[in-house]
Structure 1
Amino acid sequence: MGAEEASGRLEAALTSTEAYLAEGQRISHTGTWAVNLTSGRVYWSEEVFRICGLDPATTKPSQDMAFQLIHPDDRAFVQEAFATALRERSDYSVEHRAIVAGHTKYLHALGRPVLNELGELVEYVGTVVDLTERKLAEIKLREANEKVEMILNSINDQFVALSKDWRYTYLNRRAAEQAKLLGKDPAALIGKVLWDEFPNPPNEKAIRQVMEQRVSVTDELYYAPFGQWVENHMYPTPDGGMVTFQTDVTDRKRAEENSRQNERRLRLLVESIPHQVWSYRADRTVEFVNQRWLDYAGVTCEEAQRTSGHDRLHPDDRDRVDTIWRAASSQGDPWEVEMRLLGRDGRYRRFLSRGAPLRSESGEITQWFGTNTDIEDRKQAEGALRETEVELAHAARLMTIGVLMATLAHELNQPLAATVANSSAALRWLEQDVPRADEAMSAMRRILKDATRMADVIVSVRNLLKKSATDHARINISRIIQDVLLSLELEISKHKITVRQLCSNDQPQPLGSKLELQQVMLNLIVNAIEAMAASEWSRELTITCEPREFQARAGILVAVKDSGAGLSTQTHSRLFDSFFTTKPSGLGMGLSISRSIVHAHGGVLWAEPNVGHGATFQFILPV
């Protein structure tokens, strides 16, 4: 083989080696450089040009250029490191940032001094490694770790990580605080074995289950050292270890215990109150009833839950109650209704049922809660009381019979006398030789008029003496007052009382019993007459009627004002008490009965002393 052929092969091998070297530098992001300290000549490999973003064909490298590429914040310490290496003839190694095409790169430069045979420093040769990808990955990883740590330190849970050999690898801030309270240095715990530091944890079985079976486990226990209830959520990790989130659930446990106690107290209350307590679903099926409900119905709780609130209703009440239920359900309003319910003995009793809705977050009614109150005994007592009041009212009317009889005698005497006179005159006119039929007819008309007047007086007194009440209807208060005044005309005249009746027939008309309201007016006017009987000053009876709003609706106010002796403080406070009277022969029931009647008509009766003399009794009724 000739010298030329050998030289060619050597050049080819060298070229191939250079190519491999260049490719290796490109793959490893490692360039080579050299600087001759005698000539100042600088050498960069192609990879250095690529790292620096420069074109080797148009760029002549220099030390100044190399330093200018360095990040301004790093340039001073890189120059100082290189100067130190030159001075000490030592190796040079520094990491720094470079600005390449407006972007930051992370580089690692290494240099080694080259000495001549005289030991003089003549050159530095070295490498520059592009660490940008690794550094950026490290930065991202560090930022991610910082975020994770920030999150773990911001949560209220204690977070602990263990390696597969039971060593502590991480404690968050709350876990570190807990370790300090237990007398442990959090930093010193890292790398220590769990069982060495805490030999007998209360949930050891659960911890070992997570690690050995690689399953998630949640447990709850009372941690005596802190007097706390804690909930542990434990998970296996991909590296063979495990992590634990420990939550302080003491407040929740206390709230749960308070809730249980409140539930027990509520249950005791529900079972002790004298009402049937129930909850129905939106479709009116039974969800819950208390024991009183079950005892009355004679069924078990399971049997009750298979029924509807409709099933025990009296047949005659069902349509009415269903109508109220549907209206309340559609409007979402509480409801109240009286109804009869079937008991275990097969009898019906009257109950007052009240219900209120429970709504979901969307506003939909999901349940009804309510009570049934047994009012049967009260209703029977009210009926008996009502009968007694009717009897007492009748007795009170009979007490006025003396006054009424005198009035009746007075009112009938005049028309009877006139009737006798007119009858005699008619006979005389007819017995004449030439009968005067026209005069006789005139006398007969006067007789008819007087007879009609006597009939009106008798009917008025008879109505006042009736025992039973009449059906309710719209009442003309002015007409009632006129009838009562007419029946008491003699007493009014006897005591020289001036009457002012300021009530017109076009006043609002309340719904009520004519007879009962006549009784009220009779009692009030008779009391006024008797109060003024011995009065030494002007005796005036004023009766007024006027429209007046009452309980947000229209009403009529009736006032009876006298000029009698008035009301003392003691008398005023007991005025409407049953059997209280200031009259020697009184029963003390008139005003009590009057107030009951007015109250039954939905109104109010009260009395006030006048300025000066007398008193005013007034009542207001809705219309």
Structure 2
Amino acid sequence: MRISEKRYRNLANAMPLIVWTAQPDGTMDYYNQWWFDYTGLTPEQSAGLGWQAIIHPDDLAECLNRWNYAVSTGTFYEIEYRFRRQDGVYRWHIGRAVPVRDNDGQIISWVGTATDIDDRKRFEEALKESEARFRSMADNAPVMIWVSGTDKQCNWFNQPWLDFTGRSMDMEVGDGWAQRVHPDDKELCWQTYLEAFAARQRFEMVYRLQRADGEYRWLVDTGVPRFTPNGEFAGYIGSCVDVTERKATEEALKQRAEELTYLTKMLATTNAALEKRNQELDQFAYVASHDLKAPLRAIANLSQWIEEDIADQLSAENRRQMELLRGRVHRLEALIDGLLQYSRVGRTATKSELVNVQALLNEVLTMLAPPPEFTIAITTEMPTLHAQKLPLFQVFSNLISNAIKHHNRLNGNITIAATDKEDCYEFTVADDGPGIAPEYHEKVFGIFQTLEARDKVENTGVGLAIVKKIIESQGGRIYITSQAGQGATFHFTWLK
């Protein structure tokens, strides 16, 4: 027995954990060397109830209650508790004890162990804290989150998912969540999930899931495989985003795109037809002007020849009538030219160039050769801008010639100015003539519209209509400020 006991004690002392024994009534009677090395207590300090001194105060009562219960009932004893290491640090241990019985079943002693599990305990606590933090974060995330294990079954859903479906966790786990997937999407949904699961790959799928109110909503579900620190596959974690509104927008955009494609084709067909009509119109205008102007010139020439041949037989009234005849012919010829110009505005592209407006005005005035009784003043510095020169030339030529032609005196003053308006220039052509009453400000821009009888002033009523069409085709606008008897000012803008 002494040899056996020595062997037992040597074995106990060699173990890297605390080993102790107690008498049938629970009184400690032996500790292995690890106890003394770990706690720093002496045998005298450990004797009797001395071991209680190193138990953490918060754990002592539970430790004693369980020990006393085990001793009184002869049952297995196990508890997790903290006791103090020799450096004063409390560490978690798991304590276990079993009764040793004789052949009659009587308890003759107790054998117990205490194993340091502090590192494991701290890891478990950290894991619990991490899991709690994850669940808190997931439950407050603006997306629906799910987790599955290696058995392909979902084992957790966050609160937004449960709120969306209106179901409990127990109803959703496993494959319960699939009950809410739209019947038309279920097969593709499962196939995508299982194929990704087998390949341990990330997946993304779009399907409809029934909301708590019964409405099916489109979700984008993204799943990512999970792995343990040692690389073992642990299942999937996924997130779902409600994209119903986005999908509806995409469908609407797709429909609009199809409509636009159709309209583009129709527009191309229409443009081709318009191009053909424009070409036909140009051809018609050329032929018509040629065929109309030729007999007009003949009429004018014949009237002149007749007047010369019978000059001694014509009265003053007859001569005036012949002059009126030729005037009508010239007016008709000018009207044909005006109509041709009007029809071509905006359809004949000319190259943009750097235009010095001061130089352009000098060219206009040289061409018009205004009467010496008229004073034409350029009151501001004229800009230089990128523009189509010919249309701008036509606008100034018409406005200045109109100011001279429709003046109520043989002498007059015309002023031309320019103002910088950031993205455009505003030009003004002002005169001190008879003016235009406000009710006629828009009328004068209509084609064939005149304020004076054509017999009084030779006028086709096309000039200002051409001016307005040119300016608007260049992205500008024209308007009048005038009162009857106070002169008129024409304002027009031209993009820089």
Structure 2 counterpart of 1:130: 114
1: distance between equivalents of 2:19 and 2:482? Answer: 116
- After TM superposition, the structure 1 = structure 2 runs for residues 8-157 of structure 1, keeping only pairs within 5 Å, are 15-23=6-14, 26-27=15-16, 29-32=18-21, 43-54=30-41, 60-63=45-48, 65-78=50-63, 95-100=80-85, 101-107=87-93, 126-133=110-117, 136-137=119-120, 140-141=123-124, 143-144=126-127, 147-148=130-131, 151=134, 154=138, 156-157=144-145
Point out which structure has higher relative CO (alpha carbons under 8 A, 6+ apart): 2
The alpha-carbon deviation at position 156 of structure 1 amounts to 1.9
The alpha-carbon deviation at position 99 of structure 1 amounts to 1.7
Structure 2 counterpart of 1:365: none
Specify which of 261, 265, 273 is matched with residue 270 of structure 1.
261
1: distance between equivalents of 2:11 and 2:159? Answer: 56
Which whole-Å deviations, capped at 9, do the CAs of 1:352-408 have from their partners, x for residues lacking one? xxxxxxxxxxxxxxxxxxxxx8874586489679979x99xx9xxx9xx9xxxxxxx
The alpha-carbon deviation at position 248 of structure 1 amounts to 5.5
**Match status 1:559 vs 2:452:** no
The alpha-carbon deviation at position 266 of structure 1 amounts to 0.7
1: distance between equivalents of 2:189 and 2:92? Answer: 50
Structure 2 counterpart of 1:338: none
- After TM superposition, the structure 1 = structure 2 runs for residues 299-378 of structure 1, keeping only pairs within 5 Å, are 376-377=275-276
Which whole-Å deviations, capped at 9, do the CAs of 1:229-255 have from their partners, x for residues lacking one? 6769799999xx996878667x44774
Instruction: Check conservation: 1:180, 1:186, Cα contact below 8 A.
Output: no
The alpha-carbon deviation at position 161 of structure 1 amounts to 5.4
SS in 1 for 2:406: helix
Specify which of 475, 480, 494 is matched with residue 607 of structure 1.
480
Instruction: Check conservation: 2:144, 2:160, Cα contact below 8 A.
Output: no
1: distance between equivalents of 2:207 and 2:472? Answer: 65
Specify which of 372, 377, 391 is matched with residue 502 of structure 1.
377
1: distance between equivalents of 2:124 and 2:50? Answer: 33
2: distance between equivalents of 1:104 and 1:223? Answer: 53
- After TM superposition, the structure 1 = structure 2 runs for residues 231-310 of structure 1, keeping only pairs within 5 Å, are 251-252=242-243, 255-256=246-247, 258-274=249-265
The alpha-carbon deviation at position 140 of structure 1 amounts to 2.5
Instruction: Check conservation: 1:543, 1:558, Cα contact below 8 A.
Output: no
Specify which of 438, 441, 444 is matched with residue 569 of structure 1.
438
2: distance between equivalents of 1:140 and 1:76? Answer: 26
SS in 2 for 1:273: helix
Bigger mean CA deviation after superposition, 253-262 or 62-71: 253-262
- After TM superposition, the structure 1 = structure 2 runs for residues 424-503 of structure 1, keeping only pairs within 5 Å, are 475=359, 477=361, 481=365, 484=368, 488=371, 499-503=374-378
The alpha-carbon deviation at position 98 of structure 1 amounts to 0.6
1: distance between equivalents of 2:489 and 2:365? Answer: 16
SS in 2 for 1:32: strand
Specify which of 401, 415, 418 is matched with residue 522 of structure 1.
401
Structure 2 residue identity aligned to 1:525: I
SS in 1 for 2:9: helix
Specify which of 465, 489, 496 is matched with residue 616 of structure 1.
489
Which whole-Å deviations, capped at 9, do the CAs of 1:180-201 have from their partners, x for residues lacking one? 956x8829x99x999xx99xx9
Structure 2 residue identity aligned to 1:272: L
SS in 2 for 1:267: helix
The alpha-carbon deviation at position 14 of structure 1 amounts to 5.1
1: distance between equivalents of 2:437 and 2:164? Answer: 83
**Match status 1:592 vs 2:465:** yes
The alpha-carbon deviation at position 260 of structure 1 amounts to 4.4
RMSD across aligned positions (CA)? 6.3
2: distance between equivalents of 1:205 and 1:515? Answer: 71
SS in 1 for 2:260: helix
1: distance between equivalents of 2:145 and 2:226? Answer: 18
Structure 2 counterpart of 1:311: none
Structure 2 vs 1, CA of residues 74 and 374 (structure 1 numbering), >3 Å: closer, same or farther?
farther
Structure 2 counterpart of 1:580: 449
Structure 2 vs 1, CA of residues 140 and 386 (structure 1 numbering), >3 Å: closer, same or farther?
farther
1: distance between equivalents of 2:495 and 2:210? Answer: 70
- After TM superposition, the structure 1 = structure 2 runs for residues 152-167 of structure 1, keeping only pairs within 5 Å, are 154=138, 156-159=144-147
TM-score by length of 2: 0.55
Structure 2 vs 1, CA of residues 573 and 68 (structure 1 numbering), >3 Å: closer, same or farther?
same
Instruction: Check conservation: 2:433, 2:486, Cα contact below 8 A.
Output: yes
Instruction: Check conservation: 2:476, 2:495, Cα contact below 8 A.
Output: yes
The alpha-carbon deviation at position 97 of structure 1 amounts to 0.9
Structure 2 counterpart of 1:544: 415
Structure 1 counterpart of 2:104: none
Percent sequence identity over aligned pairs = 14
In the alignment, structure 1 segments of 5+ residues that lack a partner are: 1-9, 115-123, 277-291, 297-350, 352-372, 402-463, 493-498, 534-539
SS in 1 for 2:445: coil
Structure 2 vs 1, CA of residues 532 and 570 (structure 1 numbering), >3 Å: closer, same or farther?
farther
Structure 1 residue identity aligned to 2:89: H
SS in 2 for 1:567: coil
Structure 2 vs 1, CA of residues 145 and 161 (structure 1 numbering), >3 Å: closer, same or farther?
farther
Structure 2 vs 1, CA of residues 229 and 42 (structure 1 numbering), >3 Å: closer, same or farther?
same
Instruction: Check conservation: 1:33, 1:42, Cα contact below 8 A.
Output: yes
Instruction: Check conservation: 1:34, 1:126, Cα contact below 8 A.
Output: yes
The alpha-carbon deviation at position 42 of structure 1 amounts to 6.6
SS in 2 for 1:102: coil
Structure 2 residue identity aligned to 1:103: V
Structure 1 residue identity aligned to 2:51: A
Structure 2 counterpart of 1:438: none
1: distance between equivalents of 2:469 and 2:284? Answer: 11
Greater gyration radius: 1
SS in 2 for 1:579: coil
Which whole-Å deviations, capped at 9, do the CAs of 1:134-176 have from their partners, x for residues lacking one? x642553464366457646827244465979xxx894445699
Specify which of 183, 186, 190 is matched with residue 170 of structure 2.
186
TM-score by length of 1: 0.46
SS in 2 for 1:575: helix
The alpha-carbon deviation at position 525 of structure 1 amounts to 0.8
The alpha-carbon deviation at position 609 of structure 1 amounts to 1.0
SS in 2 for 1:49: helix
Structure 2 vs 1, CA of residues 382 and 233 (structure 1 numbering), >3 Å: closer, same or farther?
same
